[in-house]
Structure 1
Amino acid sequence: MRADARRNSEQIRSAAIGAFQGQGLTVPLEKVAEAAGVSKATIFNRFGGRVGLIEAVIEEVVASELFALIDRTRTLDDDGRIAYYLTAIRDLQYRQPAFNDVLLQTYPHSEQLMEICRAGSAANEEFVSAARASGALRPEFTADDLHALVLDNALALKHGERPPRDDYDRRTTYVLDGIRGGGPRPS
């Protein structure tokens, strides 16, 4: 690749990471091109379009943080694991609009996005199963319930009015109190 083409690709990647993290994966490609100082056609020439661009940067935008969160959760004891996991997932949803697009499978033709979803679902199953077995979750609470809570939150953040962070964190506590085994616990 020529030096100018390599430079353009890196400028596009950098602009895409910033735009996707700040505004989600559906940000207009014109905005990415403008931030990169290139034409929209250059994005298509270098990455084949939106899905190719997403796949080129999704590791930096969402995947690395999600996988680190999952790995960190695995190191915790049974009682603290599900609370940490749900709190960290909700935090990621609040901070990274692109994560909500991944959860909502906004671009189902992206193999990498779908793989992130599969890994997240497997982690949900693992953590809910362990938490139920330890009594940290209500016995009737399932991984499907966790999935629904996370998707509901993604939809609210993507399409609703963004609440102040304090209100959002307070609501996370309410969610945790509602799903914990043995009823609500003080924070």
Structure 2
Amino acid sequence: MAGAAGATSSGQERQPRLRADAKRNAEQIRTAAIGAFQGRGLSVPLEEVAKAAGVSKGTIFNRFGGRIGLIEAVIAEVVAAEIYAIIDRSRAIGDVWERLMYYVTAIRDLQYRQPATVDTMLQAYPDAPSLMEICRAGGEINEELVAAGRTAGVLRPEFTADDLHALLHDSALVLKHGTRPPREDYDRRTGYVLDGMRGHGRR
């Protein structure tokens, strides 16, 4: 009986230790993934994330179920919070043209700074619900901004929400697959994008 009790006690001691180890591993993986995804985008090899976290690749699958689960676990810290903040700030600006200028400039800036923004806007991982929700929210704000801009006459009358989407999507494609321009050139081209959108009343 004593032996059985001792075995039970030992097992109870091991279980909290295992839970603590699992929690520590998960936090290490999350920290490593946030750093990797922010710096290089969502397609960073999981082997590199595992190495930075000091665990095996298999541990990532055990804790998060693979890349999609890991993206879901960290996307808020990586880029979602910034995107939603831009959307909220845009809606709070009273002047319609200032609202459009802020939104386009802020999104293009985030695309340049955060490669994960590019992966999100290009829907690189359509099985990740959080990424697709960001894209849905982006489409919604595009519709709102363009509708308000056309009503106020600050946009070219033929300019559509699809045009705004295409302009932002095209810049994402260039940053993902093309030659990354110097920051000065990129910001200058943001001005050209805005100039091309303006209605005649705002020129």
Report the TM-score, using the length of structure 1 for normalisation: 0.96
* Equivalent in the alignment of 1:95: 113
Query: Match for 2:187: what amino acid?
Result: D
Deviation, 1:184, is 7.3
Q: Which residue identity does 1:8 align to in structure 2? A: N
Aligned-residue offset at 1:79: 2.2
Aligned residue in 2 for 1:123: 141
The aligned counterpart of 1:144 is: 162
- Give the whole-Å Cα distance in 2 for the aligned partners of 1:28 and 1:160: 20
Q: Percent identity?
A: 72
- Give 1:136 shift: 1.5
Kindly provide the amino acid, as one letter, of the partner of residue 174 in structure 2. Answer: A
Partner of 1:75: 92
Structure 1, 169-178 or 72-81: larger mean CA deviation? 72-81
Moved over 2 A (4+): none
Superposition RMSD in Å: 1.2
The secondary structure found in structure 1 opposite 2:200 is coil
Q: 2:52 aligns with which of 30, 35, 46?
A: 35
Q: Is the 8 A contact 1:13 1:56 kept in 2?
A: yes
User: Which letter does structure 1 place at the counterpart of 2:66?
Assistant: G
User: Once the two structures are superposed, what CA deviation does each residue of 1:31-73 show, in whole Å capped at 9, x if it has no partner?
Assistant: 1111111111000000000000000011111111000001101
Which of residues 185, 195, 202 is equivalent to 1:167?
185
Q: Structure 1 residues 184, 168: CA separation in 2 closer, same or farther (over 3 Å shift)?
A: farther
- For the 8 Å contact 1:81–1:131, the answer to whether it is kept is no
Q: Which amino acid aligns with 2:40?
A: Q
Q: Which runs of 5+ in 2 are unaligned?
A: 1-17
Deviations 1:71-117, CA, capped at 9 Å, x for gaps: 10111121201011000010010001001101111111111111111
Instruction: Kindly provide the amino acid, as one letter, of the partner of residue 34 in structure 2.
Output: I
Query: Which residue does the alignment assign to 1:112?
Result: 130
The separation in 2 between residues aligned to 1:97 and 1:184, in whole angstroms, is 33
Q: Does 1:15 align with 2:51?
A: no
Asked if the contact 1:177–1:183 (Cα under 8 Å) also holds between the matched residues in 2, the reply is no
More helix by share: 2
**Deviation per CA, 1:115-173, whole angstroms, max 9, x where unpaired?**
11101100110111111111121111100001111111111000111111110000000
Report the equivalent of 2:11.
none
Higher-Rg structure is 2
Deviations along 1:4-54, one digit per CA (max 9) or x if unpaired, are 111110110011011111100011111111111111100000000000000
Q: Distance in 1 between matches of 2:185 and 2:138?
A: 26
Aligned length: 185
- Residue 66 of structure 2 corresponds to residue 49 of structure 1: yes
Return the alpha-carbon distance in structure 1 between the equivalents of residues 146 and 38 of structure 2: 28
Deviates more, 1:46-55 or 1:106-115: 106-115
SS of the residue 1:2 aligns to: helix
